[in-house]
Chains A and B, each alone.
Chain A
């Protein structure tokens, strides 16, 4: 999925630069005017706070340590969700009986936002690592199941018929036709799941944590230090964007045939 427009106007690249500069200048002026007081730090303040955060550990953990703490939660939840969710979704899409059994239960849980599980997760697992991983797991699990399921259901019936006509067993039809056909959708599910997980870890950490990026911005709030919050937000955004870019890169390597299918 390449975005169609980004490189459209290579000859007129001035406006975007002006736009970003303008925002920076307006922000700086607003902050310097002192009208908002301490609530709005200037960009310069944010940068210097950011440098300070790189140099000095916050609550005994370095900046990278906080990012890693969050990443660790997301990744462990993500892999569990993938290992359970994708096979479940694939079987649900392939086998009508499995679908009839699993789907009604799944449909009860699906509309509940993962974040709404936080209180129950804390009640069940305390405030250590487990509840956070559990929340991220739910965040990644639902899209993983849904997309694997949809992917299989939307396999071109013609392809399956062709495989059957050529003597493929039911299992071969599944492994060699339906699964590769579903992979692009599965991958989209992984992307959604991972970014949703990243959001969930944040929410879980805001509610209660000792380390992690969510904790970072909560500390900023408790110390009434907006430049620390904004630095934290920028780090969160950068990590989220890096995750998305990394997955898109992986997709291009693993699924070179996706582009033809999607278009």
Chain B
């Protein structure tokens, strides 16, 4: 399953590049027209009352709410910046602690048969359980504070980073390994000098999957047990029947996720330029 995810994940980036090349001229106008139509249609169905304003806010209301939420605490008790900060802090805490443990573990599992056999059965037992299913247990164990959420996010980022590092190093070209062996490198040295660099592209795929998984799990955790954060904000928007607040929250969540993925991609092309397309 993990390998399937990767194989689909990898080409997406270059598809976007291809798309950018192909969309010159009139196609750009077509795209612009489509976007304008979309927003006009959205505004129209709200203005003409086809959908009640308690169910859907118009685009300009969303924009207005976005601007006022920047420094207004109403209606959910914190500004957008505060929600954003608390969500980001939580997500990054869980994410980095997962990556720091998960990537080395996956690499070592892929390289040393003994570690693989020891860890893999346990890992395979835990893996099919979606991180979201841990939420009730985490709440029971840790309460609804920071620890429970950090634990769930950690779990959600941990699994993809282990799996992708594992497969990345497993798929190292055997010729490369044999070459360093021939030149007299030991197991550890060939791991560091060949295995790790060869696995790096897959490791990065894992980091990307981990990040989107962590971000999604964060929202779930905050929907269920939080007193601040973007997930809490959209949940409050629902309670107060304020679709504009919900939509502002959803767009912030989506935009932040996309931005983090973009940063990671830039980082990847810096750190692993030998990644094959």
**Per-residue contact bits, chain A 136-147, to B (CB 8 Å; 1 contact, 0 not):** 000000010011
Contacting residue for B133 out of A23, A111, A185, A202, CB 8 A: A202
Given A192-B4, A206-B224, A229-B140, A5:B116 Cβ within 8 A: yes
Question: Number of B interface residues, CB 8 Å?
Answer: 74
Are A233 and B31 touching (Cβ within 8 A)?
no
CB distance from B166 to the nearest CB of A (A): 8
Closest to B245 in A: A119
**Per-residue contact bits, chain B 28-51, to A (CB 8 Å; 1 contact, 0 not):** 101101110010000000000000
CB distance from A158 to the nearest CB of B (A): 16
Which residues of B lie under 8 Å from residue A233 when comparing CB positions?
129, 133-134, 137
In the complex, what distance in Å separates the CA atom of A4 from the CA atom of B166?
11
Which residues of B lie under 8 Å from residue A50 when comparing CB positions?
none
Are A120 and B133 touching (Cβ within 8 A)?
no
Which residues of B lie under 8 Å from residue A207 when comparing CB positions?
223-224
Which residues of A lie under 8 Å from residue B133 when comparing CB positions?
202, 214, 217, 232-233, 236-237
Contacting residue for A221 out of B54, B130, B140, B234, CB 8 A: B140
**Per-residue contact bits, chain B 221-256, to A (CB 8 Å; 1 contact, 0 not):** 001100000010011011001010011011101110
**Per-residue contact bits, chain B 1-39, to A (CB 8 Å; 1 contact, 0 not):** 101110110011001001100110001101101110010
CB distance from B252 to the nearest CB of A (A): 10
Closest to A38 in B: B140
Are A206 and B219 touching (Cβ within 8 A)?
no
- Contact residues on A (Cβ < 8 Å of other chain), bracket: 35 or more
A45, CB-defined interface residue at 8 Å: no
Which secondary structure dominates chain A's binding surface?
helix
Are A99 and B19 touching (Cβ within 8 A)?
yes
Given A115-B220, A120-B243, A15:B34 Cβ within 8 A: no
> Of residues B22, B140, B171, which shows the largest number of chain A Cβ atoms within 10 Å of its Cβ?
B140
In chain A, residues 112-129, which have Cβ atoms closer than 8 Å to a Cβ of chain B? 112-120, 122-124
Are A113 and B219 touching (Cβ within 8 A)?
yes
Given A113-B219, A192-B4, A221-B136, A97:B27 Cβ within 8 A: yes
The 8 closest A-B pairs by CB, nearest first: A119-B238, A112-B254, A221-B136, A237-B129, A15-B117, A113-B216, A111-B258, A111-B254
Query: Residues on B close to A: CB < 8 A?
Result: 1, 3-5, 7-8, 11-12, 15, 18-19, 22-23, 27-28, 30-31, 33-35, 38, 54-56, 113-114, 116-122, 125, 127-130, 132-137, 139-141, 170-171, 212, 215-216, 219-220, 223-224, 231, 234-235, 237-238, 241, 243, 246-247, 249-251, 253-255, 257-258, 261
Given contacts A117-B250, A221-B140, A262-B7, 16 further A-B contacts (CB under 8 A): A1-B4, A15-B117, A19-B122, A39-B141, A100-B27, A100-B30, A109-B254, A111-B254, A112-B257, A116-B219, A119-B223, A119-B234, A146-B12, A191-B4, A206-B136, A233-B134
